[in-house]
Amino acid sequence: MGNKNVADIRRLLLAAYDAGKRSLPWREETDPYRIWVSEVMLQQTRVETVIPYYERWLERFPDIEALAEAQDDDVLRAWQGLGYYSRARRLHQGARIVKERYSGTLPRNSEGLRELPGVGQYTAGAVASIAFGEAVPALDGNVKRVFSRLFDLVDPTPADLQGLGQDLVDRERPGDFNQALMELGALTCLPRTPRCEECPLETQCLALARGTVGERPSTRPRKTIPEKDVDVLVASAEDGKGGFHFLLRKRPDKGLLAGMWEFPDVGLFPEEELGMDPTDPEPLPMPAVSHTFSHLKVRYRPRLLRGKLTATDLTPPTTTLHATRWVPLGGLDRLPLPVAQQKIAREAMRLLGV
Protein backbone atom coordinates (compact mmCIF):
# COMPACT_ATOMS: atom_id res chain seq x y z
CA MET A 1 0.00 0.00 0.00
CA GLY A 2 1.66 3.17 -1.19
CA ASN A 3 1.73 6.51 0.57
CA LYS A 4 -0.54 7.98 -2.08
CA ASN A 5 -3.19 5.34 -1.47
CA VAL A 6 -3.05 5.96 2.27
CA ALA A 7 -3.33 9.71 1.79
CA ASP A 8 -6.26 9.30 -0.63
CA ILE A 9 -8.13 6.95 1.71
CA ARG A 10 -7.72 9.34 4.64
CA ARG A 11 -8.73 12.38 2.59
CA LEU A 12 -11.80 10.79 0.97
CA LEU A 13 -13.05 9.16 4.15
CA LEU A 14 -12.67 12.22 6.38
CA ALA A 15 -14.25 14.50 3.78
CA ALA A 16 -17.31 12.25 3.59
CA TYR A 17 -17.47 12.05 7.38
CA ASP A 18 -17.30 15.82 7.76
CA ALA A 19 -20.02 16.29 5.16
CA GLY A 20 -22.53 13.73 6.37
CA LYS A 21 -21.77 12.20 9.77
CA ARG A 22 -24.71 11.30 11.97
CA SER A 23 -25.56 13.54 14.89
CA LEU A 24 -25.14 11.29 17.93
CA PRO A 25 -25.10 12.32 21.59
CA TRP A 26 -21.52 11.12 22.14
CA ARG A 27 -20.12 12.46 18.85
CA GLU A 28 -19.01 15.89 20.08
CA GLU A 29 -18.30 14.66 23.59
CA THR A 30 -14.90 15.40 25.13
CA ASP A 31 -15.37 13.69 28.51
CA PRO A 32 -13.37 10.43 28.35
CA TYR A 33 -15.77 8.72 30.77
CA ARG A 34 -18.75 9.41 28.53
CA ILE A 35 -16.87 8.23 25.45
CA TRP A 36 -15.95 5.05 27.33
CA VAL A 37 -19.60 4.45 28.28
CA SER A 38 -20.75 4.94 24.68
CA GLU A 39 -18.16 2.53 23.28
CA VAL A 40 -19.06 -0.18 25.79
CA MET A 41 -22.77 0.21 25.09
CA LEU A 42 -22.21 0.09 21.33
CA GLN A 43 -20.52 -3.30 21.48
CA GLN A 44 -22.84 -5.74 19.64
CA THR A 45 -25.74 -3.26 19.91
CA ARG A 46 -27.36 -0.98 17.35
CA VAL A 47 -26.91 2.79 17.65
CA GLU A 48 -30.67 3.39 17.73
CA THR A 49 -31.02 1.08 20.71
CA VAL A 50 -28.11 2.59 22.60
CA ILE A 51 -29.09 6.28 22.46
CA PRO A 52 -31.87 6.30 25.11
CA TYR A 53 -29.87 3.99 27.40
CA TYR A 54 -26.82 6.23 27.08
CA GLU A 55 -28.79 9.35 27.96
CA ARG A 56 -30.52 7.74 30.96
CA TRP A 57 -27.24 6.22 32.15
CA LEU A 58 -25.53 9.63 32.26
CA GLU A 59 -28.44 11.13 34.14
CA ARG A 60 -28.07 8.37 36.74
CA PHE A 61 -24.25 8.09 36.70
CA PRO A 62 -22.90 11.40 35.32
CA ASP A 63 -19.24 10.68 36.13
CA ILE A 64 -16.83 7.96 37.19
CA GLU A 65 -17.27 8.67 40.89
CA ALA A 66 -21.05 8.32 40.70
CA LEU A 67 -20.72 4.99 38.91
CA ALA A 68 -17.99 3.74 41.24
CA GLU A 69 -20.15 4.43 44.31
CA ALA A 70 -23.33 2.89 42.87
CA GLN A 71 -24.85 -0.36 44.11
CA ASP A 72 -24.68 -3.40 41.84
CA ASP A 73 -28.47 -3.65 41.55
CA ASP A 74 -28.73 0.01 40.52
CA VAL A 75 -26.15 -0.46 37.77
CA LEU A 76 -27.81 -3.59 36.39
CA ARG A 77 -31.22 -1.93 36.61
CA ALA A 78 -29.96 1.00 34.50
CA TRP A 79 -28.66 -1.51 31.93
CA GLN A 80 -31.82 -3.63 31.99
CA GLY A 81 -32.97 -4.53 28.48
CA LEU A 82 -29.68 -3.64 26.77
CA GLY A 83 -28.37 -7.20 27.01
CA TYR A 84 -24.88 -8.63 27.45
CA TYR A 85 -24.98 -7.63 31.12
CA SER A 86 -21.33 -8.50 31.68
CA ARG A 87 -20.60 -5.17 29.95
CA ALA A 88 -22.36 -3.29 32.75
CA ARG A 89 -20.64 -5.25 35.49
CA ARG A 90 -17.20 -4.69 33.96
CA LEU A 91 -17.89 -1.00 33.39
CA HIS A 92 -18.86 -0.77 37.06
CA GLN A 93 -15.74 -2.65 38.14
CA GLY A 94 -13.63 -0.46 35.88
CA ALA A 95 -15.03 2.73 37.41
CA ARG A 96 -14.11 1.49 40.89
CA ILE A 97 -10.59 0.67 39.74
CA VAL A 98 -10.20 4.08 38.09
CA LYS A 99 -11.36 5.79 41.28
CA GLU A 100 -9.06 3.80 43.55
CA ARG A 101 -6.00 3.38 41.33
CA TYR A 102 -6.05 6.46 39.09
CA SER A 103 -7.74 9.05 41.34
CA GLY A 104 -10.87 9.01 39.16
CA THR A 105 -9.12 9.82 35.88
CA LEU A 106 -9.06 7.34 33.01
CA PRO A 107 -5.63 6.25 31.71
CA ARG A 108 -4.75 8.44 28.74
CA ASN A 109 -3.50 5.78 26.32
CA SER A 110 -4.67 2.49 24.89
CA GLU A 111 -2.11 0.47 26.83
CA GLY A 112 -3.33 1.82 30.16
CA LEU A 113 -6.99 1.47 29.20
CA ARG A 114 -6.51 -2.22 28.48
CA GLU A 115 -5.75 -2.75 32.16
CA LEU A 116 -9.44 -2.13 32.93
CA PRO A 117 -11.97 -4.99 33.06
CA GLY A 118 -13.70 -5.64 29.75
CA VAL A 119 -11.53 -3.21 27.79
CA GLY A 120 -10.04 -5.08 24.85
CA GLN A 121 -8.07 -3.89 21.88
CA TYR A 122 -11.06 -2.35 20.09
CA THR A 123 -12.48 -0.42 23.05
CA ALA A 124 -9.05 0.78 24.12
CA GLY A 125 -8.31 1.98 20.58
CA ALA A 126 -11.65 3.73 20.24
CA VAL A 127 -11.46 5.57 23.57
CA ALA A 128 -7.77 6.44 23.24
CA SER A 129 -8.16 7.81 19.71
CA ILE A 130 -11.41 9.71 20.29
CA ALA A 131 -10.80 11.01 23.81
CA PHE A 132 -7.03 11.46 23.80
CA GLY A 133 -6.02 11.71 20.14
CA GLU A 134 -3.77 8.65 20.20
CA ALA A 135 -3.07 7.40 16.65
CA VAL A 136 -4.24 3.82 17.18
CA PRO A 137 -6.83 1.85 15.18
CA ALA A 138 -10.23 0.71 16.49
CA LEU A 139 -11.37 -2.37 14.62
CA ASP A 140 -14.94 -3.43 15.22
CA GLY A 141 -16.84 -5.88 13.00
CA ASN A 142 -17.85 -3.13 10.60
CA VAL A 143 -14.27 -1.95 10.09
CA LYS A 144 -13.01 -5.49 9.56
CA ARG A 145 -15.58 -5.90 6.77
CA VAL A 146 -14.53 -2.60 5.19
CA PHE A 147 -10.88 -3.65 5.22
CA SER A 148 -11.67 -7.09 3.77
CA ARG A 149 -13.34 -5.41 0.79
CA LEU A 150 -11.10 -2.39 0.46
CA PHE A 151 -8.03 -4.63 0.13
CA ASP A 152 -9.84 -7.72 -1.23
CA LEU A 153 -8.67 -9.97 1.60
CA VAL A 154 -9.94 -13.55 1.57
CA ASP A 155 -9.29 -14.53 5.17
CA PRO A 156 -7.23 -11.89 7.00
CA THR A 157 -5.92 -12.61 10.48
CA PRO A 158 -6.58 -10.21 13.37
CA ALA A 159 -2.89 -9.25 13.20
CA ASP A 160 -3.22 -8.45 9.47
CA LEU A 161 -6.20 -6.19 10.09
CA GLN A 162 -4.60 -4.50 13.08
CA GLY A 163 -1.51 -3.77 11.00
CA LEU A 164 -3.60 -2.24 8.22
CA GLY A 165 -5.48 -0.15 10.74
CA GLN A 166 -2.28 1.13 12.25
CA ASP A 167 -0.93 2.10 8.82
CA LEU A 168 -4.15 3.84 7.79
CA VAL A 169 -5.24 5.74 10.89
CA ASP A 170 -4.94 9.48 10.36
CA ARG A 171 -2.24 10.93 12.60
CA GLU A 172 -3.93 14.31 12.94
CA ARG A 173 -7.51 13.14 13.42
CA PRO A 174 -7.37 9.53 14.65
CA GLY A 175 -10.67 9.65 16.51
CA ASP A 176 -12.59 11.07 13.57
CA PHE A 177 -10.92 8.62 11.20
CA ASN A 178 -11.88 5.60 13.34
CA GLN A 179 -15.45 6.84 13.69
CA ALA A 180 -15.60 7.48 9.94
CA LEU A 181 -14.60 3.87 9.24
CA MET A 182 -17.20 2.55 11.68
CA GLU A 183 -19.84 4.77 10.11
CA LEU A 184 -18.90 3.58 6.63
CA GLY A 185 -19.34 -0.05 7.69
CA ALA A 186 -22.58 0.62 9.55
CA LEU A 187 -24.34 2.65 6.85
CA THR A 188 -22.72 1.95 3.46
CA CYS A 189 -20.46 -1.12 3.35
CA LEU A 190 -23.26 -3.37 4.58
CA PRO A 191 -22.90 -7.15 4.96
CA ARG A 192 -25.46 -8.28 2.36
CA THR A 193 -26.48 -5.18 0.39
CA PRO A 194 -23.48 -2.85 0.21
CA ARG A 195 -24.17 0.57 -1.28
CA CYS A 196 -21.01 0.75 -3.36
CA GLU A 197 -22.31 3.61 -5.50
CA GLU A 198 -22.52 5.77 -2.35
CA CYS A 199 -19.12 4.81 -0.94
CA PRO A 200 -16.49 7.55 -0.69
CA LEU A 201 -13.81 4.86 -1.14
CA GLU A 202 -15.36 3.44 -4.32
CA THR A 203 -12.30 4.32 -6.40
CA GLN A 204 -9.96 2.72 -3.85
CA CYS A 205 -11.82 -0.58 -3.32
CA LEU A 206 -10.04 -3.63 -4.75
CA ALA A 207 -12.99 -5.98 -4.16
CA LEU A 208 -15.26 -3.67 -6.16
CA ALA A 209 -12.72 -3.51 -8.99
CA ARG A 210 -12.37 -7.31 -9.04
CA GLY A 211 -16.06 -8.11 -8.59
CA THR A 212 -15.58 -9.90 -5.25
CA VAL A 213 -17.50 -7.59 -2.92
CA GLY A 214 -20.16 -10.24 -2.25
CA GLU A 215 -17.46 -12.74 -1.27
CA ARG A 216 -15.70 -10.50 1.24
CA PRO A 217 -15.24 -11.18 4.00
CA SER A 218 -15.45 -14.94 3.68
CA THR A 219 -18.18 -16.44 5.84
CA ARG A 220 -17.98 -19.44 8.11
CA PRO A 221 -20.95 -21.73 8.76
CA ARG A 222 -22.94 -20.64 11.78
CA LYS A 223 -22.87 -22.93 14.77
CA THR A 224 -26.14 -24.44 15.88
CA ILE A 225 -27.29 -22.76 19.09
CA PRO A 226 -28.22 -25.32 21.77
CA GLU A 227 -31.65 -25.13 23.37
CA LYS A 228 -32.62 -25.57 26.99
CA ASP A 229 -35.95 -25.78 28.85
CA VAL A 230 -36.20 -24.26 32.33
CA ASP A 231 -39.21 -24.91 34.59
CA VAL A 232 -39.86 -21.73 36.54
CA LEU A 233 -41.77 -21.29 39.79
CA VAL A 234 -43.76 -18.06 39.98
CA ALA A 235 -44.75 -18.01 43.66
CA SER A 236 -47.19 -15.23 44.47
CA ALA A 237 -48.49 -14.59 47.99
CA GLU A 238 -50.78 -12.09 49.68
CA ASP A 239 -49.55 -10.50 52.88
CA GLY A 240 -52.90 -10.11 54.64
CA LYS A 241 -53.06 -6.39 53.86
CA GLY A 242 -54.10 -6.73 50.24
CA GLY A 243 -50.54 -6.63 48.94
CA PHE A 244 -49.02 -9.19 46.56
CA HIS A 245 -45.45 -10.43 46.71
CA PHE A 246 -43.37 -12.54 44.31
CA LEU A 247 -40.56 -14.87 45.32
CA LEU A 248 -37.39 -13.84 43.46
CA ARG A 249 -33.83 -15.15 43.48
CA LYS A 250 -30.63 -13.27 42.80
CA ARG A 251 -28.38 -15.10 40.36
CA PRO A 252 -24.75 -15.85 41.31
CA ASP A 253 -22.09 -13.19 40.81
CA LYS A 254 -20.52 -15.11 37.92
CA GLY A 255 -21.93 -16.68 34.78
CA LEU A 256 -24.96 -15.97 32.60
CA LEU A 257 -27.01 -12.97 33.80
CA ALA A 258 -24.78 -12.65 36.87
CA GLY A 259 -26.27 -10.51 39.62
CA MET A 260 -29.69 -10.23 37.95
CA TRP A 261 -32.93 -11.27 39.66
CA GLU A 262 -35.28 -13.99 38.41
CA PHE A 263 -38.15 -16.30 39.18
CA PRO A 264 -36.36 -19.43 40.40
CA ASP A 265 -36.16 -22.91 38.93
CA VAL A 266 -38.94 -25.14 40.25
CA GLY A 267 -36.51 -27.76 41.53
CA LEU A 268 -34.68 -25.34 43.83
CA PHE A 269 -37.57 -24.76 46.20
CA PRO A 270 -39.35 -27.45 48.21
CA GLU A 271 -42.89 -26.18 48.72
CA GLU A 272 -42.68 -26.45 52.49
CA GLU A 273 -39.75 -24.02 52.57
CA LEU A 274 -41.37 -21.16 50.69
CA GLY A 275 -42.81 -19.39 53.71
CA MET A 276 -46.34 -19.40 52.27
CA ASP A 277 -49.57 -21.39 52.46
CA PRO A 278 -50.56 -22.34 48.90
CA THR A 279 -54.17 -21.89 47.86
CA ASP A 280 -53.75 -23.94 44.68
CA PRO A 281 -53.33 -27.73 44.89
CA GLU A 282 -50.85 -27.57 42.00
CA PRO A 283 -49.04 -24.70 40.25
CA LEU A 284 -50.97 -23.38 37.25
CA PRO A 285 -49.24 -23.55 33.84
CA MET A 286 -48.42 -20.21 32.18
CA PRO A 287 -47.42 -19.48 28.56
CA ALA A 288 -43.80 -20.33 27.79
CA VAL A 289 -41.35 -17.47 27.22
CA SER A 290 -38.36 -17.96 24.91
CA HIS A 291 -35.17 -15.92 24.87
CA THR A 292 -32.09 -16.33 22.70
CA PHE A 293 -28.71 -15.46 24.15
CA SER A 294 -25.56 -15.29 22.05
CA HIS A 295 -24.76 -18.95 22.76
CA LEU A 296 -27.98 -20.47 24.07
CA LYS A 297 -31.73 -20.47 23.44
CA VAL A 298 -33.77 -20.87 26.62
CA ARG A 299 -37.46 -21.68 26.82
CA TYR A 300 -38.82 -20.73 30.23
CA ARG A 301 -41.88 -22.73 31.28
CA PRO A 302 -43.39 -20.84 34.21
CA ARG A 303 -46.00 -22.18 36.62
CA LEU A 304 -47.96 -19.93 38.96
CA LEU A 305 -48.40 -20.90 42.61
CA ARG A 306 -50.73 -18.68 44.64
CA GLY A 307 -50.95 -18.48 48.38
CA LYS A 308 -50.65 -16.42 51.56
CA LEU A 309 -47.48 -15.42 53.34
CA THR A 310 -46.65 -17.05 56.65
CA ALA A 311 -43.24 -15.44 57.27
CA THR A 312 -43.59 -12.09 59.02
CA ASP A 313 -40.23 -10.76 57.84
CA LEU A 314 -40.83 -11.77 54.20
CA THR A 315 -37.60 -13.79 54.23
CA PRO A 316 -37.74 -17.46 53.18
CA PRO A 317 -37.00 -19.41 56.36
CA THR A 318 -34.16 -21.73 55.32
CA THR A 319 -30.64 -21.39 53.96
CA THR A 320 -31.70 -23.56 51.02
CA LEU A 321 -33.22 -20.42 49.53
CA HIS A 322 -29.98 -18.46 49.40
CA ALA A 323 -30.19 -14.93 47.93
CA THR A 324 -33.98 -15.22 47.69
CA ARG A 325 -36.63 -12.88 49.00
CA TRP A 326 -40.28 -11.96 48.74
CA VAL A 327 -40.60 -8.78 46.70
CA PRO A 328 -43.74 -6.61 46.73
CA LEU A 329 -45.22 -5.64 43.38
CA GLY A 330 -43.99 -2.08 43.82
CA GLY A 331 -40.46 -3.37 44.35
CA LEU A 332 -40.15 -5.13 41.00
CA ASP A 333 -39.25 -1.85 39.29
CA ARG A 334 -36.28 -1.40 41.61
CA LEU A 335 -34.63 -4.74 40.81
CA PRO A 336 -32.76 -5.64 37.61
CA LEU A 337 -34.89 -8.24 35.84
CA PRO A 338 -33.85 -9.79 32.51
CA VAL A 339 -36.26 -9.31 29.60
CA ALA A 340 -37.68 -12.84 29.80
CA GLN A 341 -38.34 -12.45 33.53
CA GLN A 342 -40.15 -9.16 32.92
CA LYS A 343 -42.45 -10.94 30.47
CA ILE A 344 -43.16 -13.66 33.02
CA ALA A 345 -43.92 -11.04 35.70
CA ARG A 346 -46.36 -9.17 33.41
CA GLU A 347 -48.23 -12.37 32.54
CA ALA A 348 -48.40 -13.41 36.21
CA MET A 349 -49.84 -10.03 37.20
CA ARG A 350 -52.40 -10.32 34.40
CA LEU A 351 -53.49 -13.74 35.63
CA LEU A 352 -53.67 -12.47 39.21
CA GLY A 353 -55.62 -9.38 38.17
CA VAL A 354 -53.17 -6.97 39.82
- Classify 259 in phi/psi space as left (phi over 0), alpha (psi -120 to 50) or beta: left
Instruction: Using alpha carbons, select from 100, 126, 103 the residue that is nearest to residue 113.
Output: 126
β-bridge pairing 324-328 and 284-285: unpaired
Distance CA 104, CA 98 (A): 5
Catalytic residue at 55? no
Q: CA quadruple 101, 105, 108, 113: dihedral positive or negative?
A: positive
Peptide bond into 32 cis (omega under 30): no
- Classify 256 in phi/psi space as left (phi over 0), alpha (psi -120 to 50) or beta: beta
* Active-site residue, selected from the candidate residues 28, 29, 39, 48: 39
Alpha helices in 80-193 (DSSP H): 86-101, 110-113, 121-132, 141-150, 158-168, 174-187
Distance CA 170, CA 177 (A): 6
Alpha helices in the chain (DSSP H): 3-20, 32-41, 47-60, 64-68, 72-79, 86-101, 110-113, 121-132, 141-150, 158-168, 174-187, 206-210, 339-352
Active site residues: 39
